[in-house]
Structure 1
Amino acid sequence: MCLVWTLLAAALCSTAMTPGAAAEPRQAGLGFDLDLATIPELQHQFDQGSLTAHALTKAYLHRIGTVDHAVNSVLAVSPDALEQADASDARRRHGQTKGQLDGIPVLLKDNVDTKGLASTAGSRALNVPPIDDAVLIKRLRAAGAVILGKTNLSEWANFRSTKSTSGWSGTGGQTNNPYVLDRNPCGSSSGSGAAVAASLAQVAVGTETDGSIVCPAGQNGVVGLKPSLGLVSRTGVVPISAEQDTAGPMARHVVDAAIALSVLQGRDPRDPATAAYPVSQPRDYAALLNPGALRGARLGIWRMAGQDADVDKVMRSVVDALTAAGVTVVDVELPYQDQIAAAESPALLTEFRHDLEQYLRSRRCAPQTLAALIDFNSKDPVELSKFGQELFEQAQSAPPITDERYQAQREAATSLARRSIDEVLAANHLDAIVAPTNSAAWKTDYAAGDAYSLGSSTPAAVAGYPNVSVPAGFAGALPIGVSFMASKWRDARVLAFAAAFEQASGARRAPHYLPTLPLATP
């Protein structure tokens, strides 16, 4: 008989928090500001004996207990997190440290299989933990990372309803944006982005099909890398589409994302896409970060101008910062966007049903078909309480992957997305393309659903190319990110540009947990 898995309480205590005051990361009892600390700095403190993995993990658990009741980003904490940290400290004492991620607390999006912890994709239908870790979790454990817990997400990675609200799931409720709590964190890696912004872990893992890492990174004022497709194994990750899905790191600092990517990447015989990346692909992305990386670079600026005045203002400041850093900027437009969108959407419907049903066969006590999930949702008192399951229903009636019409749609979407980037890079002799990641976060509203007004994720997502978002500025109290994208396997290049921009701009600032924005005066 299947036993319903009860999620561990993420709110370890319900201490009231004064926005902007009691939530300071410095108050974690470490004597330094967690928000500002990077992994290399933490490792230096470990080596000097002024910090232990146990103390760092305990500080993050304390913040989850005292801050996350406002943000609601953490679904569950690992019951053995401190034991994992103690093991890291023991390795260090015996000179057996496993690398830069050893002893570093990491949160995981709850669509990544994690043995002993619920891995629900936000759905009450997946209420029994998986029997094994996803391949990427095994890589994190092998590197000595402390698996701190699981983050909330937009249920089924935001692929259930045409009118969904990002950051909501049946298992976790609504995740809030830590900058302004009634604003949306974007999705689907909502909890991962919000948790990192709120200094609830040093690094988090998100997943993206189209925008689900970079948009939460942009709206929560953190760094998010969607890697080249095939760099990180998807085995054990709840899918939407094997043609576009990838996991990737989210962090407050580019160097931390680079360190995490070095651990996450790796070949996996059960994921054929990972066999394709070059043997020359870097193994240590952090070692390739260079403060002078922008000097002499030639970057295309896809401004997406005229859609949002705040974004236009931030992009002007981005161009000023890039120019001051020695970049030659070239204004560009990426072609084929309407055609890509028209082909991508129906292709994903077909792929979702096929790939999800393959995944469900690995889960004990879970519905085994999309039809069974649709039936479960229709009978559950929570699942359809905020919005429907229109995408599930459309996917159920979509053609199979053997259908010629589907195959033409996928071919068109992928080839046009690659051309939209590659042709612009070649024609203008560019090193990368820069674009706004997001507009300011909208107010969470279940009746209206998400209010996306601008986003640049689609070309890189559909092409399988790398895309990293880094904080670029603000619209009042709300963060806006900028994305660096390039051709496939150029992950090191976009990370280097993002890190140099991060240093040159100094755009990020910690959240203040405002309950709402003040009313505009006439």
Structure 2
Amino acid sequence: MTTNDQDFQFEEATITTIHQAFSQNTLTCTQLVDYYLNRIETLNPILRAVVEVNPDARALAKLADDERDNARGNGAELGALHGVPVLVKDTIGTKDKMGTTAGSYALVGSVVARDATVVEKLRKSGAILLGKASLSEWYKIRSIDHLPNGWCARAGQGVNPYVKSADPCGSSSGSAISVAANLVAVSLGTDTHSSIICPSDHNSAVGLRPTVGLVSRAGVIPISSRQDTVGPICRTVSDCVYVLDAIAGPDPRDEEATTKSSKYIPRGGYKQFLKVDGVRGKRLGIVRHPFVTSLHESTVAQSFEHHLETLRERGATLVDSLEISHIAEILNPHDSGEITAMIADFKHAISKYLNELESSPVRSLAEIIAFNEKNPELEKTNEFGQDGFVEAENMHGNGEEIAKIIEHLEQLCKEGFEKLMKENELDAMVTPGTKAIPVMAIGGYPGITIPAGYDEHGIPFGMLFSGLKGTEPKLIEIGYAFEQATLARKPPLFDSPEWHEDLHIP
């Protein structure tokens, strides 16, 4: 194979441009993996976005190159993500030489019984597992109010690649930082409350939070079966869609949730909804209080109004000044009971997960708590605490109370977001930034955030499109049309004054 990697534009590469280069013999998977490994080696000591690199990455790349050469000779069909490097969050199980630790030293040495279902599907599609992305340790459930966004013991503090002092958000911080900084082609994150949407928004990435159950959670360190979902974080809507097509679908290992939601998957998959005019004829709801009014006269608020005009010009009908019932309560997870329900779910789910591991230094939440107490320097237990763990461990015999909380959350959804969407015949709700996240979280609804600009400090922000369960096709149409109309995303500039002047970017 004759190649010249100088002909290929590595920065901001997409799945489409990668596959075109493969087919034109101007790029090999080995060259692509080497590029990303060099980027990680150079930038990860600063960004702290990757927990560990797959020691077999180069071997897998060589195998992919051989498979491609053989396919050319015999006409064999390759997977939709063949040769595409991907990072998965360090809570997504991989049965290989990498660990699955939630960023915590407590799980170092644990061995999963098998790949998570999403990893099985990625491998089947031909993707290259490049490594494990960092996160807010244990999804912040260890200490929701005190653990910093983007921090975990194993990787350290994740850094926003646009503005060092800016919040990288969490918990899928490493997944978002990595794609934003071109450390990898695409990534997988997980979302219980805000963990795909928020880091994507803050790091100028596209984040797609699927309907709960659309993608299997089997083999993923859990928090809540009611709210957990797995989804792509990428640089473009099309890349997110290609990844979603590869990982969505029913799974007997997560049977109840995936059977219920697999009915939403359209025949022919999701690529068909990548339409430049996808916003035409759509009804978009705008809830100004509190999502817009709280921005006052900021750059973000001004950009939001400009983007609304763009959507209108592209053929959308904007239904303005709507309200969501009980919105103040919904937006406060302590008031709504969401956090209490999550912690109760976690206590049960983590015990089951730990006991299914082939081997592990800890087999219970109590043992994790004890590990953190014995290793305060490693885990910064004195600084960040573990009150969430302790609260979960101390929960006993309150099943009736939790059931009432869940019933209340379901009622908030019916009287709030669902009523708003149905009564106004909306295709999606559009909001700036991340404040609307709890609306989606408590109901298991899907959403997609698209890079929308940068504030007066250079910090990224996005436009969030949210819908009812199973409305991914509409959200993809709207999101792709918005992305193509605005093309707001820009890669971070590591040669700016606030970054090391002597930093060499390969």
Could you tell me the TM-score, scaled by structure 1's length? 0.87
- What is the alpha-carbon distance in structure 2 between the residues aligned to residue 209 and residue 217 of structure 1? 14
In the other structure, the counterpart of 1:144 is 126
State whether structure 2 residue 476 is matched by structure 1 residue 495.
Answer: yes
Q: Choose the corresponding residue for 1:369, options 364, 369, 372.
A: 364
Contact 1:180 1:512 in 2 (8 A): no
For residue 419 of structure 1, report the CA deviation from its aligned partner.
Answer: 4.1
- What is the alpha-carbon distance in structure 1 between the residues aligned to residue 249 and residue 158 of structure 2? 31
- What is the alpha-carbon distance in structure 2 between the residues aligned to residue 110 and residue 350 of structure 1? 22
Deviations 1:464-491 (A, max 9, x none): 1111111011113110011111111111
Q: What is the one-letter code of the residue matched to 1:180?
A: V
Q: Choose the corresponding residue for 1:132, options 114, 139, 144.
A: 114
Contact 1:214 1:226 in 2 (8 A): yes
Contact 1:415 1:463 in 2 (8 A): no
Q: For residues 2-81 of structure 1, what are the structure 2 equivalents within 5 Å?
A: 30-81=6-57
- What is the alpha-carbon distance in structure 2 between the residues aligned to residue 158 and residue 144 of structure 1? 32
State whether structure 2 residue 387 is matched by structure 1 residue 403.
Answer: no
In the other structure, the counterpart of 2:82 is 102
Secondary structure class of the residue paired with 1:68: helix
State whether structure 2 residue 94 is matched by structure 1 residue 111.
Answer: no
Percent sequence identity is 37
- What is the alpha-carbon distance in structure 2 between the residues aligned to residue 399 and residue 462 of structure 1? 23
Contact 1:196 1:252 in 2 (8 A): yes
Q: Choose the corresponding residue for 1:247, options 220, 230, 236.
A: 230
Contact 2:49 2:133 in 1 (8 A): yes
Contact 2:33 2:61 in 1 (8 A): yes
For residue 72 of structure 1, report the CA deviation from its aligned partner.
Answer: 1.3
State whether structure 2 residue 438 is matched by structure 1 residue 458.
Answer: yes
Deviations 1:136-189 (A, max 9, x none): 111100110000001111000111112120111111111100001222210000
Secondary structure class of the residue paired with 1:492: helix
Gaps of 5+ in 1: 1-27, 439-454, 518-522
Q: What is the one-letter code of the residue matched to 2:345?
A: E
Q: For residues 476-487 of structure 1, what are the structure 2 equivalents within 5 Å?
A: 476=456, 477-487=458-468
In the other structure, the counterpart of 1:262 is 245
For residue 75 of structure 1, report the CA deviation from its aligned partner.
Answer: 1.1
Q: What is the one-letter code of the residue matched to 1:295?
A: R
For residue 310 of structure 1, report the CA deviation from its aligned partner.
Answer: 3.4
Contact 2:264 2:470 in 1 (8 A): no
Q: Choose the corresponding residue for 2:485, options 470, 480, 504.
A: 504
Q: Choose the corresponding residue for 2:284, options 293, 296, 299.
A: 299
Secondary structure class of the residue paired with 2:195: coil
- What is the alpha-carbon distance in structure 2 between the residues aligned to residue 198 and residue 392 of structure 1? 33
Could you tell me the TM-score, scaled by structure 2's length? 0.90
In the other structure, the counterpart of 1:16 is none
For residue 399 of structure 1, report the CA deviation from its aligned partner.
Answer: 4.2
Contact 1:336 1:417 in 2 (8 A): no
Task: Flag the 1:178–1:89 CA change in 2: closer, same or farther, 3 A.
Answer: same
Kindly tell me the number of residue pairs found equivalent between the two proteins: 473
Q: For residues 279-428 of structure 1, what are the structure 2 equivalents within 5 Å?
A: 279=263, 281-282=265-266, 283-303=268-288, 304-308=291-295, 309-331=298-320, 332-340=322-330, 341=333, 342-363=336-357, 364-380=359-375, 381-383=377-379, 384-400=381-397, 403-428=399-424
Q: Which is richer in helix? A: 2
Contact 2:270 2:473 in 1 (8 A): yes
- What is the alpha-carbon distance in structure 2 between the residues aligned to residue 227 and residue 399 of structure 1? 32
In the other structure, the counterpart of 1:18 is none
Secondary structure class of the residue paired with 1:240: coil
In the other structure, the counterpart of 2:504 is none
- What is the alpha-carbon distance in structure 2 between the residues aligned to residue 318 and residue 35 of structure 1? 26
Contact 1:343 1:409 in 2 (8 A): yes
State whether structure 2 residue 251 is matched by structure 1 residue 275.
Answer: no
Contact 2:89 2:189 in 1 (8 A): yes
Contact 2:136 2:148 in 1 (8 A): yes
- What is the alpha-carbon distance in structure 1 between the residues aligned to residue 425 and residue 43 of structure 2? 47
- What is the alpha-carbon distance in structure 1 between the residues aligned to residue 396 and residue 450 of structure 2? 38
Contact 1:98 1:144 in 2 (8 A): yes
Contact 2:249 2:262 in 1 (8 A): no
Secondary structure class of the residue paired with 1:382: helix
- What is the alpha-carbon distance in structure 2 between the residues aligned to residue 175 and residue 459 of structure 1? 26
- What is the alpha-carbon distance in structure 2 between the residues aligned to residue 278 and residue 150 of structure 1? 27
- What is the alpha-carbon distance in structure 1 between the residues aligned to residue 324 and residue 299 of structure 2? 21
Question: Which 10-residue stretch deviates more, 463-472 or 328-337?
Answer: 328-337
Contact 1:314 1:474 in 2 (8 A): no
Gaps of 5+ in 2: 500-506
Q: What is the one-letter code of the residue matched to 1:316?
A: E
- What is the alpha-carbon distance in structure 2 between the residues aligned to residue 35 and residue 218 of structure 1? 20
Task: Flag the 1:418–1:38 CA change in 2: closer, same or farther, 3 A.
Answer: farther
Q: What is the one-letter code of the residue matched to 1:196?
A: V
For residue 265 of structure 1, report the CA deviation from its aligned partner.
Answer: 0.9
Question: Which 10-residue stretch deviates more, 336-345 or 208-217?
Answer: 336-345
Contact 1:153 1:168 in 2 (8 A): yes
In the other structure, the counterpart of 1:452 is none
Q: For residues 184-203 of structure 1, what are the structure 2 equivalents within 5 Å?
A: 184-203=167-186
CA RMSD, 1 decimal:
1.8
Contact 1:234 1:246 in 2 (8 A): yes
